[in-house]
């Protein structure tokens, strides 16, 4: 499905109490998150978040027929892109709000990000996590000083539980994607990628709640008008693909997939209000295709990815992406005319938080 870039947005919800949203989603046709917001987040994150590497591989280029640029957020603090949004949001809280503390709900990476950001800013965090979330993620979250409250993801509502705890303890709730400051922070990954690589023909981004895609698309479409924004979801959790086709948010059963970070039932209201205009299409990948991408990343690229972090790479490797036509570029000296060049494709590796035992279990 193809959507037009830069349309107006609908209303959003989920703002952290008292933190302010920056703009009223949809008011006077102004998007809830703008490129200026992403640039502002980048300035706030400078010297705090890592400027993660962009990797190239001739082997990967040969396998895919594209010039591939991997933005490796597995090297970000806490091992995933989530630190960008969490720190951007928490750093805007008042001293009084930070003293009260923060709450969050997450399958793992946002949990770690909020826990670390809270510690960096002298606050404390209470995190609601699924009881079946990877032990490595729970241990890391606790290691950053957070209190963990577990729940059953198949029978309990994490949003309701998070709100209840925040209200009872007078904490500031930091949602994983339904907030403009979270989205703007995540968009800095795409900003850095394009600043380093120059214009891209397409950008592939894993989609869960939609915060990374919304931020990345806001930045990428501003920097490279006409770039194709392609989201990737696990086959068992295609809520965003279905929602784009329907023209409104659709709910699917709780996905059972190895990509635990993308086990989302429905897109965020705010994120979907942005992605429905900025996202061109969504590709789906199977668990086996995700495993194959993790294996190639480890054996050939020498990097460790978690399942959710590898879905965009998996879609490219499995041929699930309809790549843009090869543009015509100037010929080399001594060769007149113009010569075709492979499409330049960016891929966000969104995280690498997987324990050794789980990694071996997945790839064994």
Considering just the CA atoms, what is the radius of gyration of the chain in Å?
Answer: 19
CA distance 319 to 313: 10
Residues with a known catalytic role: 82, 107, 233, 237, 239, 350
Burial of residue 364 (number of CB atoms within 10 Å: 0-12, 13-18, 19+): exposed
Sequence-distant (6+) residues with CB within 8 A of 197 are 54, 69, 344, 346
Two tokens, residue 156: 């309990």
Strand order of the β-sheet with 281-285 is 54-55, 67-72, 344-349, 202-206, 228-234, 281-285
């Amino acid at each position: 499905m193809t959507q037009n870039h830069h349309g107006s947005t609908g209303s959003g919800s989920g703002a952290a109490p008292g933190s302010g949203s920056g703009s009223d989603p949809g008011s006077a046709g102004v998007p809830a998150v703008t490129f200026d917001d992403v640039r502002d987040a980048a300035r706030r994150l400078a010297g705090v978040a890592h400027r993660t590497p962009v990797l190239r591989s001739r082997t990967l280029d040969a396998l895919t027929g594209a010039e591939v640029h991997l933005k490796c957020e597995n090297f970000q603090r806490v091992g995933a892109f989530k630190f960008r949004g969490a720190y951007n949001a928490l750093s805007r809280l008042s001293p009084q709000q930070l003293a009260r503390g923060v709450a969050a709900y997450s399958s793992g990476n946002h949990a770690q990000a909020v826990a670390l950001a809270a510690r960096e800013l002298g606050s404390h965090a209470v995190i609601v996590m699924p009881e079946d979330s990877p032990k490595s993620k729970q241990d890391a979250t606790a290691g950053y000083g957070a209190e963990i409250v577990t729940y059953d993801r198949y029978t309990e509502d994490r949003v309701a539980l998070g709100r209840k705890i925040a209200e009872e303890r007078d904490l500031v709730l930091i949602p994983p994607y339904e907030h403009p400051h979270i989205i703007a922070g995540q968009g800095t990954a795409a900003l850095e990628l394009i600043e380093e690589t120059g214009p891209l023909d397409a950008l592939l981004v894993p989609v869960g709640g939609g915060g990374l895609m919304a931020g990345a698309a806001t930045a990428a479409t501003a920097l490279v008008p006409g770039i194709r924004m392609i989201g990737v979801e696990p086959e068992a959790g295609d809520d965003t693909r279905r929602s784009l086709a329907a023209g409104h948010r659709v709910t699917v059963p709780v996905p059972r997939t190895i990509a635990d970070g993308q086990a989302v039932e429905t897109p965020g209201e705010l994120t979907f209000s942005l992605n429905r205009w900025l996202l061109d299409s969504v590709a789906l990948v199977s668990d086996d295709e995700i495993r194959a991408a993790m294996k190639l990343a480890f054996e050939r690229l020498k990097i460790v990815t978690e399942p959710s972090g590898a879905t965009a790479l998996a879609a490219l490797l499995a041929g699930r992406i309809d790549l843009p036509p090869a543009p015509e570029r100037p010929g080399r000296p001594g060769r007149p005319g113009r010569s075709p060049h492979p499409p330049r494709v960016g891929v966000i590796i969104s995280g690498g938080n997987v324990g050794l035992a789980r990694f071996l279990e997945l790839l064994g």
